[in-house]
Amino acid sequence: MAETFDQESRVGPGRYLPIAEHGLIGDLRTVALVGTDGTIDWYCCPTFDSPSVFGAILDAGKGGAFELGARVPATTKQFYFPDTNVLITRFFTEGGVGEIQDFMPVTGDSGEVRRHRLIRRVICVRGSIPFHARVAPRFGYGAQPHRVRRHDGMVVFESEDLSLALTATVPVACDDRDATAAFTLDEGESEVFALDQVGGDVVPRACAYTEAEDEFAATVAFWRRWLSASRYRGRWREMVHRSALTLKLLTYAPTGALVAAPTTSLPEQIGGERNWDYRYLWVRDAAFAVYALLRLGFTGEAEAFMNFLTRRVTRCADGPSGPLQIMYGIDGRTELPEHVLGHLEGHRGSAPVRVGNAAAGQLQLDIYGALIDSIYLYDKWGQPVSSDHWDEVCGLVDWVCDHWDQPDEGVWETRGGRRNFLYSRLMCWVAIERAMRMANRRGLPADIPRWRHARDTIYRTLMRRGWSEQRKAFVQYEDGDVLDAAVLMMPLVKFVSPTDPKWLATLDALTAELVSDSLVYRYDPKASPDGLRGEEGTFSICSFWYVEALVRAGRVEEGRLAFEKMLTYANHVGLYAEEISRSGEQQGNFPQAFTHLALISAAFNLDRALG
């Protein structure tokens, strides 16, 4: 993606790159978003859900940023070093060509002092280019003051809760808040900037040319070694592998938790209020990710998620959301209080900026189906579940048998009141059906007669009350007439035959009302008020579900065209935000795990159908 820019154009409030104009780097603890102009606009340290240090994507004036780029007008292009999460931003100027290599070393836990390090290596590959750097951290989401001091040639930024040390191979000037540098590189020359979290046992450490080269090589080797385990050999290998690498970047290695997205409050509509914090583990998202990663052969990630659930997730006997919450902190914590950061203006003025997520207390019955389906797949393709784990599964299924008919907030986390959502009932059916399969295949103890009765009751209820004779379609909630793209999962989870006349009629109805050039809206907020003002874009996971539904219905060429169209909505390095606007702009938190795992599933099934 090319863009002509003046480095000074990013200075001041109200100056924002589009959400999609960013690449992602990370170290399996946290990530940074790097703009196509070389500026780091988002970085939380030391973990995904820590307060931001660079938050210019949410407030260009107060959020803080790490600018690095040419001091002359330049056209830029950004790409990933092949088969890695090392990001390259190239600068094309009249005087020459240069590039920034951005990466975060992935270090082990074997007795090594944990160092969060962000390395930026600048190289001139042709001619001569003047560069500029400005390191302007704003701790605590831009609300916590800091001081700057020099230490052994390094610049240390100190706040009450966090300290960062900047090392550079060029002279750096600093005032009481920021550090700056200006330098010129001739062909073949390079300079290095490194930003380390310091404190406790982690002391400031220089990052010289040779160390940067060694770290680069080690980081490239790590990602290529990980990706080499992929079994995917299909038609869309590059996009599938980019999605897999992205899902891995969104994994918190110490616990195996997978964040829904590494950002907060990126708007679903510019100027709207649909801004949420996604830096947590959603049971639903993580369970679907297990399916996608198992398909590709990454059993270690599936095992890590299962361990997270068994070791860190506290089950409540009778909590407001049942024995499971819909989401957890990356360390397994259950308290995720939501509050507004009123001092930040939001991306392009889209307030409020929220931290925490009040939806953690919602009842969403579908998570039990997503979870038990992932356990079923892990038991089948990974390792057989243990006896203790099976006892827990039985407890969850028994709870679902007793509570499946409760109204809930549904998969889309609406704040307009509880309903008898079809998707919630559908996934309760999945929970029971998959558990029955496991019990029968392995001869495990289970109350099969009770489970079968509940499963069949759910089936008949959905067929009777989830079908609208007037709309000739399965609908959003029982006895209603509103369409919802979530019902695209009905054939995908094998609840209904993909060629059943009722399902084909539903697919036609969804195509007519919710599909726009292969892009799929979740539902119509006017027809089904969700308790929030404003509109939203098309929901990218639904677009990939639509591809799968078309393929399974035998409309393979339509599915292939829809899939290829969806690929054109990815950003320049193959990343997707949650939604896509009417003009094709990416909206919502970025990148979104849900979308990338759906891409993997759609590609896999489309490949299989094409032969």
**Structure confidence at residue 383 as a pLDDT band (50, 70, 90):** confident
How many other C-beta atoms are found inside a 10 Å radius of the C-beta of residue 460? 10
What does DSSP assign to residue 415? S
H/E stretch holding 586 reads strand 586-587
* 205-257: pLDDT as tens digits: 778 889 999 999 999 999 999 999 999 999 999 999 999 999 999 999 999 99
pLDDT surpasses 90 at 319: no
Q: How confident is the model at residue 529 (pLDDT cuts 50, 70, 90)?
A: low
Residues in Cβ contact with 402 at an 8 Å cutoff, skipping those fewer than 6 apart: none
- What distance in Å separates the CA atoms of residue 286 and residue 373, rounded to the nearest whole number? 12
For residue 14, pLDDT over 60 is answered with no
Written as six digits, the tokens of 48 are 């995904």
Please report the pLDDT score of residue 452 as a whole number.
98
Q: Which residue has the higher pLDDT, 352 or 287?
A: 352
Inform me whether the pLDDT recorded for 9 exceeds 70: no
Residue 111 confidence class, pLDDT cut points 50, 70, 90: very low
Of 392 and 414, the one with more pLDDT: 392
230-610 maps to which CATH number?
Answer: 1.50.10.10
pLDDT value of position 532: 58
pLDDT band at 169 (very low <50, low <70, confident <90, very high): very high
What's the pLDDT band for 13 if we cut at 50, 70, 90?
very low
Decide if pLDDT at 601 tops 50.
yes
Q: How far apart are CA 513 and CA 520, in angstroms?
A: 9
- Contact (Cβ atoms closer than 8 angstroms) between residue 434 and residue 373: yes
Percentage of the chain exceeding pLDDT 70: 93
Q: Work out the angle at residue 289's Cα, subtended by the Cα atoms of residues 43 and 591, and round it to the nearest 5 degrees.
A: 30
- What pLDDT, on a 0 to 100 scale, did the predictor assign at position 369? 95
Residue 280 carries which DSSP code?
Answer: S
Among 327, 332, 245, smallest CA distance to 282 is for 327
> Cα–Cα distances in Å, from 61 out to 57, 136, 359?
10, 11, 30
Q: What is the pTM of this model?
A: 0.94
Does the pLDDT at position 328 exceed 80?
Answer: yes
| Residue 2 pLDDT greater than 80, yes or no | no
Please give the average per-residue pLDDT across 560-586, as a whole number.
96
Model confidence at 531, in pLDDT bands (50, 70, 90)?
A: low
Q: Give the separation between CA 71 and CA 288, rounded to whole angstroms.
A: 45
Quick one: pLDDT at residue 312? Answer: 64
pLDDT of residue 97: 98
Cα–Cα nearest to 260, from 489, 30, 578, 485:
578
Count the neighbouring beta carbons within 10 Å of the beta carbon of residue 565.
14
CA 71 distance to own-chain centroid: 33
Query: By mean pLDDT, which of 28-42, 88-102, 200-214, 220-234 is the weakest?
Result: 200-214
Residue 421 has pLDDT above 90, yes or no: yes
Q: Cα angle vertex 262, ends 258, 265, to 5°?
A: 130
So what's the pLDDT on residue 128? 97
- What pLDDT score was predicted for residue 303? 85
420 has a pLDDT exceeding 80: yes
413: left (phi over 0), alpha (psi -120 to 50) or beta: left
Q: Which CATH class name applies to 19-202+219-227?
A: mainly beta
Q: Report which of 378, 384, 372 is spatially closest to residue 455, judged by C-alpha positions.
A: 372
527 CB-near residues (< 8 Å, 6+ apart): 482, 483
Is a pLDDT exceeding 50 seen at residue 12? no
C-alpha distances in Å from residue 427, one per residue of 271, 290, 364, 386, 490: 34, 16, 10, 23, 9
- Beta bridge mates, 327: 282
Identity of the residue numbered 498: P
Question: Cα(262)–Cα(604) distance, rounded to whole angstroms?
Answer: 25
Average pLDDT in the 65-92 region? 98
Residue 11 — very low, low, confident or very high, per pLDDT cuts 50/70/90?
very low
- Lowest-confidence range among 124-138, 272-286, 526-540, 584-598? 526-540
Least confident of 102-111, 497-506, 541-550, 557-566: 102-111
User: 139 forms bridges with which residues in the sheet?
Assistant: 144
Q: Which of 241, 245, 347, 337 is nearest to 589 (CA)?
A: 347
* Enclosing H/E stretch for 32: strand 31-35
Sketch the domain layout of the chain as residue ranges. Answer: 19-202+219-227, 230-610
Q: Which helix (H) or strand (E) holds 159?
A: strand 154-159
Among 139-148, 303-312, 582-591, the least confident range: 303-312
What are the CA-CA distances from residue 232 to residues 238, 369, 607 (Å)? 10, 26, 10
531 or 58: which leads in pLDDT: 58
User: H helices within 408-555, ranges in order?
Assistant: 422-442, 448-465, 489-492, 501-514, 540-552
pLDDT of the residue at 550: 97
Please say if the pLDDT value at position 445 is more than 80.
yes
> Residue 77 in contact with residue 37, Cβ under 8 Å?
no
As a whole-number percent, the residues of the chain with pLDDT over 90 amount to: 78
pLDDT at 534: 57
Q: Which of 250-264, 282-296, 551-565 has the lowest mean pLDDT?
A: 282-296
The reported pLDDT for the residue numbered 38 is 97
467-523 pLDDT tens trace: 999 999 999 999 999 999 999 999 999 999 999 999 999 999 999 999 998 899 998
